[in-house]
């Protein structure tokens, strides 16, 4: 039962909802985000609006999170509210970033741009093949997150600007150098293949590039400074 609860809480945390840490702002933001995303994913089929929303999610998550963690914002929040409250504020924002990023990809995948923007292979084959890729990537990402812990998934150490754990080489980190940002991202490609969406495939590819831009420009320098060359809790 404990393992099942851990799996459920980890999954929801990955999509932007820490079930044990929710606050009113987080709940309101989540409801608005999913309602907004539902419109783009299921109801609307407007390329201009969908692209606008998708690019908003890119700026909000990749640029926004990088800006926060590279600035004096964490230090000012901690000085005013203390570490615990400051991190609660930050993780609420990051949770909403995660939600919008996922919904942005879903919106791009569901966008109907005509036959020229569809993968021209029998749908039964693409659904099965894409589903396998999706499941492999999702299992590896959940496994990686459970290995690190949800706090690290929400960049707690980077926000607080100090170590919150020790080096780990267990789980998928014994097999892959970067399971969270590497093979753990293939579920997005699988999702796009399942629905034969070239726009979805391009969207996840762009997100994959941007997470590595964030990693090399913001996260990796922090990891090397705080944990040392090899002592990383991060991917």
Nearest to 94 by CA among 113, 124, 120, 68: 68
**pLDDT mean values, one per 10 residues, the chain (235 residues):** 87 94 94 83 77 94 96 96 96 97 92 67 81 94 91 95 76 83 92 91 96 94 80 45
Whether the model pTM is above 0.95: no
Give the tokens for residue 111: 């966008």
Q: How far is CA 109 from CA 11, 58, 135, 145, 211, in A?
A: 21, 15, 17, 25, 19
Nearest to 205 by CA among 180, 188, 184: 188
The DSSP bridge partners found for residue 197 are 118
Q: Write down the pLDDT at residue 178.
A: 83
Give the tokens for residue 100: 């919008």
Q: Write down the pLDDT at residue 151.
A: 93
Q: Write down the pLDDT at residue 190.
A: 95
Q: Write down the pLDDT at residue 114.
A: 67
Give the tokens for residue 174: 């014994």
Helix (H) or strand (E) holding 203: helix 198-214
Q: What are phi and psi of 64, to 5 degrees?
A: -65, -45
Q: How far does Cα 80 stand from its chain's mean position?
A: 28
Exposure on the CB side of residue 111, measured as CA atoms within 13 A: 27
Q: What's the chain's Rg over C-alpha atoms?
A: 18
DSSP 103-117: HHHHHHHH----GGG
């Amino acid at each position: 039962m404990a393992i099942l609860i851990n799996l459920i809480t980890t999954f929801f945390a990955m999509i932007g909802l820490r079930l044990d840490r929710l606050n009113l702002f987080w709940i309101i933001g989540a409801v608005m985000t999913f309602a907004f995303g539902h419109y783009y994913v299921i109801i609307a089929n407007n390329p201009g609006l969908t692209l606008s929303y998708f690019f908003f999610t890119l700026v909000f998550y990749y640029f926004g999170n990088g800006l926060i963690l590279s600035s004096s914002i964490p230090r000012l929040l901690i000085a005013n509210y203390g570490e615990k409250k400051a991190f609660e504020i930050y993780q609420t924002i990051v949770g909403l970033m995660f939600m919008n990023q996922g919904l942005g990809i879903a919106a791009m995948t569901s966008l109907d741009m005509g036959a020229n923007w569809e993968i021209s292979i029998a749908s039964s084959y693409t659904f099965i093949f894409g589903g396998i890729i999706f499941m492999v990537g999702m299992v590896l990402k959940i496994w990686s997150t459970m290995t690190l812990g949800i706090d690290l998934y929400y960049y707690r150490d980077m926000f607080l600007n100090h170590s919150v754990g020790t080096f780990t080489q267990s789980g998928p980190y014994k097999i892959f150098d970067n399971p969270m940002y590497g093979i753990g991202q293939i579920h997005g490609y699988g999702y796009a293949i399942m629905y034969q969406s070239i726009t979805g495939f391009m969207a996840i590819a762009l997100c994959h590039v941007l997470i590595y831009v964030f990693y090399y420009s913001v996260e990796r320098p922090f990891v090397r400074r705080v944990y040392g060359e090899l002592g990383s809790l991060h991917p």
